[in-house]
Amino acid sequence: MQIIKSNKAQYEYDIHALVKAFYPEWEWKVLTPESVVRDKKIRETAPVMELEFRDNEVKLTIFSSLHKLKNTHESIQREENNDAADEAQIYTWCNTEQTEPAEYKNAFKRFLYTALQEEMGISLPWGNLTGIRPTKIAMTMLENGANEREVAAYLREKHFVSEEKIELGIEIAQRERVILSRLHYEDGYSLYIGIPFCPTTCLYCSFTSYPIGVWRERVSDYLTALEREMEAMAEMYRDKILDTVYIGGGTPTSLSAEELDRLFTKLKSTFDFRSVQEFTVEAGRADSITEDKLRVLYRHGVTRISVNPQTMKQETLKLIGRQHTVEQVVDAFRMARKVGFDNINMDIILGLPGETKEDVEATIESILAMTPDSLTVHSLAVKRASGLHKWIEENGITAYNNTEETMRIAADGARAMAMEPYYLYRQKNMSGNFENVGYSVKDKYGIYNILIMEEMQTIVALGAGSITKRVFPDGRIERCDNVKEVAQYIDRIEEMIERKRFLLSE
């Protein structure tokens, strides 16, 4: 655990995110005077970085003998420290212009980013952007009348974003504007339904999921609670227009064909689907997909499904806990085509443990042979709650790696299938500090994927572990969440409903 000490409780998230992006091999903690640190050992650990906020000046001290700092940016003044034993390097930033809190924060992030950039001698593809929605900046500027040149200049000068990512972000923002123009914002909403069961838990996964084999006897109880929540929600929003429906998890197709039929029958009889533009089910893992399940989905009007290999390397599938073969992925995809699905997405993850450039090339070649309608390319993110976090502690961070080259291999493969990038988001602790990108052929875009990222429409979420987000006309967003544990969700369903009633009737 590496410690960053700050004399002010301010910008802890941004400090942590930027430092972690430059030093992914270490765990970091930002300590402030207000921090509550129970672990005495952490509290007494000497900091490797220290931030001191003083009136209009910020002083950054980096205690390190591992890297020689270089100073090429005119906005940072380097000072020499006489204490050679600490080999401290000190950077100072004097704020003489920014008075608005938001602008001051952005200016501080530019200072911190530039100091770390010079210490490490590298640049990050997304510059000092630490949020998960980098395209939202471009989208907002375009909506407010800025042209592409002005957006590019802002991202370049204010956030140090690379030219490649600037181009990608603007392209996606422009495409999103067209796709979302058909939706109802103030008088509409989208619906998410979570099925928190999986065949097994994947090594990298941190989502709420429970082994279906253990919970098989309580699936009916779960569906009963879910049906109660559906009824209450449909009544609350009876005057609203339903634009998209997304059933995720977990793995929804962990349910049996009969359970899926029960779920969809209740869903279609409870909500008005006449205005629904997209109905997605995350079929996901090949070991959960059967022809009878696919026929249930198709019969109930599901318009978009996912068949997600993550990789087409058998050894990696075994390592990450997927109990199916590469051949099963191909069979599941062909089965979905045979049933009649003409909008099939596939997910892959770059940076999985031990995978090489050649492995990524082989995965893309296999996907090209199947020709899905969309491809979502994830850059592996290490979640603290996942088994992968412990695996890396035991095997070392170099065991997983994503690079510009592998990202480009995937992007070129998507382009070879006539796909365009249409949505993008980032996560904490992403391999290579890259991004997740959704590619699609024309008119097969995942609308819900854009909505969940751009936060322009209310999304009502049902099921254990789901989070409802209400978007108000003034842009304000408020949330309420359902309990994660399945048994608690079943027992406390009326409480979950009341939480939504309080939020949505406001």
93-107 tens-digit pLDDT:
998 777 788 889 999
The Cα–Cα gap between 505 and 108 comes to 39
Tokens matching residue 92: 């100072």
Averaged confidence pLDDT in the chain = 88
The Cα–Cα gap between 309 and 19 comes to 32
What is the percent of the chain with per-residue pLDDT over 90, rounded to a whole number? Answer: 64
Mean pLDDT, to the nearest integer, of 489-502? 96
Mean pLDDT, to the nearest integer, of 56-68? 73
Domain 184-348+444-499 adopts which CATH fold?
TIM Barrel (3.20.20)
Model pTM score = 0.87
Asked if 250 contacts 209 with a C-beta cutoff of 8 angstroms, the reply is: yes
Q: Which run of H or E residues covers position 195?
A: strand 188-195
Range among 33-42, 153-162, 197-206, 208-217 rated most confident? 153-162
Q: Which is nearest to 300 in space by CA: 363, 333, 346, 252? A: 252
What is the percent of the chain with per-residue pLDDT over 70, rounded to a whole number? Answer: 87
What confidence score (pLDDT) does residue 431 get?
A: 64
What confidence score (pLDDT) does residue 390 get?
A: 62
What confidence score (pLDDT) does residue 198 get?
A: 83
Asked if the model's pLDDT at residue 80 lies above 60, the reply is: no
Chain mean position to CA 15: 20
In which residue are the tokens 């997740």 written?
Answer: 436
Mean pLDDT, to the nearest integer, of 326-330? 95
> What type of residue sits at position 137?
I
| Largest pairwise CA distance in the chain | 75
Task: Phi first, then psi: give them for residue 184, nearest 5 degrees.
Answer: -100, 120
What confidence score (pLDDT) does residue 24 get?
A: 80
